[in-house]
Structure formats: C-alpha cells, structure tokens
Amino acid sequence: MRRYEEAEIDRLPIDLLAHIFALITCFKDLAQASGVCRKWKQAVKQSMAPRERLSFAGWKMDDDSTTRLVLHAYNLKELDISRSRWGCQITDIGLYQISFAKCISNLTSISLWGMTGITDKGVVQLISRTSSLQHLNIGGTFITDESLFAIAVSCPHVKTIVLWSCRHVTESGLLVLVNKCRKLVSINVWGTRVPLHCFIGLLAISPALQIKPKELQLNIERVPVL
C-alpha cells in the first residue's frame, strides 16, 4: 500500500503559512482557506490578528465568510462592509454574528453604506457593543429612528455620522442623536425627508455642528431667527 505523502505546503510551519496568508488580498479566498483544515484555520487566524483595518467593499461576501474573518481580527479599529457593485450579501444575521467579535468594542469606524439587506434589528445589535465608535456610515440603508436612538445611547464618542438617503429617519431621531452625542461634529443628511426647521433645531443644540451637504448649511444660515 502506497504511503500517503504530505503536500509541500502542509509541511510549512504555521508562522510561515500566516505570513503567506497575510499577502492574500482576496478576503473570500482567506475565508475559504480557513475552512481547509485546523492548521490553515490557525494560520489564517494568526494572519488576521494584527490587522487594524478591514474593507470588504468590492468583494462578494456573505454573513459566514465575513464573520469568520472579523472574529480573528483582534486588533481591528476600522471595519468597512459597504455595498459594492458585486452585491455584498450581509444581512442582520451577519451583523449579529459580528457583534460578538472581541474587536467590536474597540472599533472606531464602521461603514455599512448601501447595505439594503440590513434593518434596525441588526444595526442596533451591532451598535450596542461599539462603545468606542467615532465614525459611522449607514447611508443608503433603510434604518429608522430606532437605530439613531441606539447610537445615542451606546456611542457617546461618535464624531461623524452619514445618513445619506436614509428616508425613514425623522426629526425625532435626529434631535435625540445630537442631544445625546455631544462630541458629534459632522452629520450628512443628504436625501433625507426631514424639514429644514429641524436642522435649525439641531444647530440650536450644537452650534458648531456641520450639517452636510454644504448647500443645506447655507440655506439654514439664510433663515432669519425669530
């Protein structure tokens, strides 16, 4: 009986495998590599640990493959899972799974731009664990005031937030957000259905707040104060 011969790559030590995996730019390939065997899973885990930034924009990722990598990125500070032209498949299930990663409480930046497959349920679950968050982009989603209330409670350090075309956000949610998040310096509300007088109220709470787009800010400044 012919003796089984171990593949050359399997003879490599884990440290060297981890170095090789760190050079791979395709996150989908990394996620698949982590499922090959226990040794490869450990090597992928080791290669992900030092990363401080992950961007899945441009890759067709799903809940499981995204979660698999984020769970290994212990030092992660910035997470970008924005929708790309290939159509990212992240859902509330993925956000729920990601929320239990050890790095979540240390994240300073999250982008969920254009993720139409997520709802308040997933966003609230994720946001509730991001106490260090400073920059958040949830533009192009169908979130409502429920997500804004969660941000107001869980993210006291948030500085910038993008609500681009979030048409289900109302005046109530914005007022609570600005009133609670005193470090907020910039908010993008392009494409929302909030009336102009609401933004005047936001500036009354936080005069230094930058409301984008700039054209909107100029229109607000032209309104006479009674």
Provide the residue ranges of all domains of the chain, joining segments of one domain with +.
11-48, 52-222
Q: What are phi and psi of 15, to 5 degrees?
A: -60, -40
Class of domain 11-48 as given by CATH = mainly alpha
**Residue 86, amino acid:** W
At residue 224 the predicted structure's pLDDT band, cuts being 50, 70 and 90, is low
CATH architecture label of 52-222: Alpha-Beta Horseshoe (3.80)
**Alpha carbons 124 and 92: distance in angstroms, whole number:** 10
**pLDDT score of 226:** 45
pLDDT tens digit string along 176-220? 999 999 999 999 999 999 998 899 999 999 999 999 987 676 666
Residue 47 pLDDT greater than 50, yes or no: yes
Amino acid sitting at position 9: I
CA distance 212 to 190: 7
Contact 73, 102 (CB under 8 A): no
Query: Any idea of the CA torsion for 105, 165, 212, 223, to the nearest 10 degrees?
Result: -130
Q: pLDDT tens digits, residue range 5-21?
A: 556 666 777 777 776 77
pLDDT at residue 143 is higher than 60: yes
The pTM for the full model equals 0.82
